[in-house]
Amino acid sequence: MASNPGSPTPPTPLTPAQAQAFADRWYAAWNAHDIDGIMACYDESIAHSSPFIKRYNGTDDTALVGIPAVRDYFARALVRNPTLRFDPMFVTTGLESVILVYRRMNGDLAAEVFFLNAAGKITRSVSHYG
């Protein structure tokens, strides 16, 4: 498909292999409780939203922006949940996004949508819990 002159170049579509490699890195870091490994998956400009942010931050905020805010939130989640574990179920691949479906340590179903940049880092993530 040709693009219009002056319009941005469309992203190179992700392959299922790239999506799986991303998922493997993300799950490994979380399941190892490796905050540095977790944050290595995220771009500096990360925008993360989750139903838990409001509850655990004690604010009306439903989203966090930037590595410092997201790192602090994730670090507290690891401390609060010493048995935290994500058990992968499905990886789905979009043009520039990946959806991971997994079971949390309590057996609840969860899904996360990750928008990735050209470097494979997460620029936006949206958490969903069942």
CATH 3.30.460.10 fits 16-129, yes or no: no
Please give the Cα distance from 70 to 119 (Å, whole number). 19
Comparison of pLDDT for 34 and 2, the residue scoring more? 34
What is the reported pTM? 0.88
Residue 4 confidence (pLDDT) above 70: no
Residue 86 confidence (pLDDT) above 60: yes
Chain position carrying tokens 């693009």:
3
Give how far Cα 62 sits from Cα of 17, 47, 53, 59, 124, Å.
Answer: 32, 11, 6, 8, 13
- For 47-61, what is each residue's pLDDT tens digit? 999 999 988 888 888
Give how far Cα 99 sits from Cα of 7, 16, 23, Å.
Answer: 27, 11, 9
